Amino acid sequence: MANLGNCMLFYLKYAAEMERLYEAEKPKGDGLPKPDQILEKIKLVGDTANRQVAEFLEFCALGIEPHFHAISDVKRVRNNLEKTWLLDFWVGPKDATDRRIEIGVTIDSNLAALIPWIWCRGGRRAEDEMVRIMGGRIKHCKSPGWTSGTVVLDEIKIPLPARLEDSVECDSLVAQVRHAFAAFTEQDIAAIDGIASNRGEA
């Protein structure tokens, strides 16, 4: 995958409009000229954007999964990428009997950004412990609205060109996602797993 799809870029550039005209259970084209035709076109754009998002997230997986295979026991969470815009994995130490850490990448349409993150059980204390374990090796972004126990590792803005015909390369975005997770080591995974083992539910 060389470039992001034009429909995906359109969706991100006009996220508020797409939420109103595509994501709504019963979109209303009041005030639009020829609303039925426009809504039909919007549905086509939205459906295509979802497929392009899924394709891009599969590309991101190639930048994440090999690293965690080398340092941990990792299992991909199988979900509908077209619907969730979310790629995630369960992770644990290589000798563990289960996996208590979740890592992933979310595409936030309102921010037009890729959000790499890590989660483990234990609420705010777990967040603080993960940041302490990783020290200055990760970029910890304070971001409201996330599930307790989540550390947001970065907010990677997706360039939205003035003309949607202009291309946006995937490689640099995937490299930034890869970089967000690259600092994690086998020892870090074991330490974070210890947090999940010793804390109560958030």
Q: In the chain, where are the structural domains located?
A: 6-198
Closest by CA position to 190, among listed 120, 138, 88: 120
Q: Output 165 or 59, whichever has higher pLDDT.
A: 59
| pTM for this predicted structure | 0.90
Mean pLDDT value across the chain = 90
Whether residue 199 is predicted with pLDDT greater than 60 in this model: the reply is no
Between CA 151 and CA 137 the distance in angstroms is: 13
From the CB of residue 44, how many other CB atoms can be counted at a distance below 10 Å? 12
Give 73-100 pLDDT, tens digit per residue: 999 999 999 999 999 999 999 987 788 8
pLDDT band at 1 (very low <50, low <70, confident <90, very high): low
Give 129-142 pLDDT, tens digit per residue: 999 999 888 887 77
b/e per residue 136-172 (b: at least 16 CB within 10 A): eebeeeeeeebeebbbbbbebebeeeeebeeebebee
Whether residue 109 is predicted with pLDDT greater than 90 in this model: the reply is yes
Q: Mean pLDDT over residues 137-151, rounded?
A: 83
Confidence (pLDDT) at 202: 39
**Are the C-beta atoms of residues 21 and 176 closer than 8 Å to each other?**
no
From the CB of residue 76, how many other CB atoms can be counted at a distance below 10 Å? 12
